[in-house]
Structure formats: C-alpha cells, structure tokens
Amino acid sequence: MSTAQIAFLKGHGTENDFVIIPDYDGRLELSPAAVARLCDRRAGIGADGVLRVVRSAAHPEALGMADEAEWFMDYRNSDGSIAEMCGNGVRVFAHYLQRAGLVEEGDVAIATRAGVRGAHIAKAAPDGTPGEITVAMGRAVLPDGDVTVTVGERSWPARNVNMGNPHAVSFVDDLADAGRLLDAPAVAPAAAYPDGTNVEFVVDRGPRHVALRVHERGSGETRSCGTGACAVMVAAARRDGADPAVLGHPVTYTVDLPGGRLVISESPDGTVEMTGPAVIVAEGVLDASWFVRATA
C-alpha cells in the first residue's frame, strides 16, 4: 500500500486497548514486526493488539463469510501473532464501524477467524455516550482432561474452556497469588494447548459475581479479555451447579476485570453473550516512512 499517510484510531473495551487500522480493500501489508512496533508502548502507539478493518470479500480468510458479514476483523496480538478471536476487540470493532458510518445502531455481523459473530449496538445515551455493545460469542467447548496452571512455586487446577480461542481458568483465593504475570504461566499438560493459551485467575466477589486477572497469549497481562470473561463465566457456572442447559433458563454473571465490568450470559442452548462498553479515544495518521522502517 503506497500512500503518504496511513490512518489509524485508538480504542479500548474495558481498557483492553487496540490500534485500529482501516484497510477496507485489504491493500496494507501488516507484518508481525509492524504489528509489534505499532503496539509498542514506547516506540509505537501502544496497544494490546491491532484490529485491521477489511471487507470480508477482500480477505482470503474471510471470503467464505462474505455473504453473512461484510466486515472482517483481522486481529493481531501485540507480539504480531495472529489470533482467532478477541471479545473486547469485537465490541471496539463494531463501535468503529458505527462511528465510520458503515453500520447503524442495532444488529451487525462481524467475520472473525473463529467464525461470524453477531453484535448489537445499543442507542447512545442522551449525553452522547455510546451505547453498550452486546456480542454473541458462540458456544463454549469444554475439553475433557485435567489441567494445571503454575506460577513460580505455586500450582492450581484449571478448567479448559475454548471460546474460539483457548483458555485455562483457575479459581484462586487471592488475585495477588498470580504475581505480576510478566511471563506466561506454565500450563500442563502442554498437549491440552498445542498453540498456547490464555490463562485466567478468578476470585469470587458475591453470588454470580467474580473478578479476574488474565495473561493473554501473545500479549501478556492485559486489563481485560472478553473471551476470557466468557470462559470464566462458563467455568464458574459449571463449578456452581448453574449450567443453563440443566436449569432450563439463562444464567448471568457479573465479571469484574482490572479495566472495568462485563456482563456475561449463557443460554440453555449454550450461546454466550457479552455486554460491555467500547470507546474510541483518538484518531490520526501514521508517518509512512516510520511505518516502512517498522516493517523492515
């Protein structure tokens, strides 16, 4: 993509922050090195990941979803690696589409590497505050087998939950037990997560109310993780004997994260929905020569 300027925006969902790159026709080459530089909090813009906005018909990985969803969320972790899904990212992506005039309030379909995700954009508040966004996150998969998470000298049992991307959910007595989470916690057996995993540490705050910290695969500890909050809700409901399929009605948990609060619901058919805010905080242009050097 040869241009003097490359547009970008900066946004976040419960402080899980993203660089948004509008590239509707899929002309921009985003190498892992370029993504890592964009996300660098000292040498770049700084973010937990990059959301590239591409028409599904213009991206080979999304072409098969083009009839269902016009827009593809090409999500990259802050280290440049490709990820299947990002729940907070979907909310921010949907908010961007509305802000850019590409969709209206109401329902919108978004293509991701984990499949098409439906989002609902609520009406803005009278003061102009954007409406919260509800995302249909699909169904959780709960693989069999015991999993253990280790930080330093301490280990905890964990629940293997897949929300389109992998999670190891561990219930602990104190969130401080996980330390600073600068390095990825060790997870065993390795065969349970051949491509690595996100790890959530969870404490109870009250009835159907939990709080978590998360180490995201490819990004480190982040302020929030939407798929992680969903995985935690599913694991907590099973632990608490509140499986919606057994109860015959939806189950809802409040999930507190360092960056804010999400509300997660699971229906008897297994469909998980996530509701929370999305914010765009800035927009501008990248220096093209800097970007070229970043991709070298």
- Tokens representing 174 are 């104190």
> What single DSSP character describes residue 123?
P
Whats the size of the chain, residue-wise?
296
275 is in an annotated binding site: no
260 is in an annotated binding site: no
Query: Is 230 part of the annotated catalytic residue set?
Result: no
Query: Is 39 part of the annotated catalytic residue set?
Result: no
* Pairwise CA distance, residues 229 & 227, whole Å: 5
Query: Which candidate in 35, 39, 65, 86 is catalytic?
Result: 86
217 is in an annotated binding site: yes
52 is in an annotated binding site: no
Q: 150-157, long-range: CB within 8 Å, 24+ apart, which pairs?
A: 150/185, 150/186, 150/187, 150/188, 151/177, 151/178, 151/179, 151/181, 151/185, 151/186, 152/179, 156/201
220 is in an annotated binding site: no
For 71, phi then psi, to 5°, come to -115, 140
218 is in an annotated binding site: no
87 is in an annotated binding site: yes
129 is in an annotated binding site: no
82, 61 in Cβ contact below 8 A? no
160 is in an annotated binding site: no
77 is in an annotated binding site: yes
Its sign, for the CA torsion 180, 182, 183, 189, is: positive
* Pairwise CA distance, residues 296 & 36, whole Å: 12
Query: Which candidate in 50, 137, 169, 225 is catalytic?
Result: 225
Q: What distance lies between CA 70 and its chain's CA centroid? A: 20
User: Annotated binding residues for substrate, as ranges?
Assistant: 16, 77, 87-88, 165, 198, 216-217, 226-227
User: Annotated binding residues, as ranges?
Assistant: 16, 77, 87-88, 165, 198, 216-217, 226-227
Q: Which residues are catalytic?
A: 86, 225
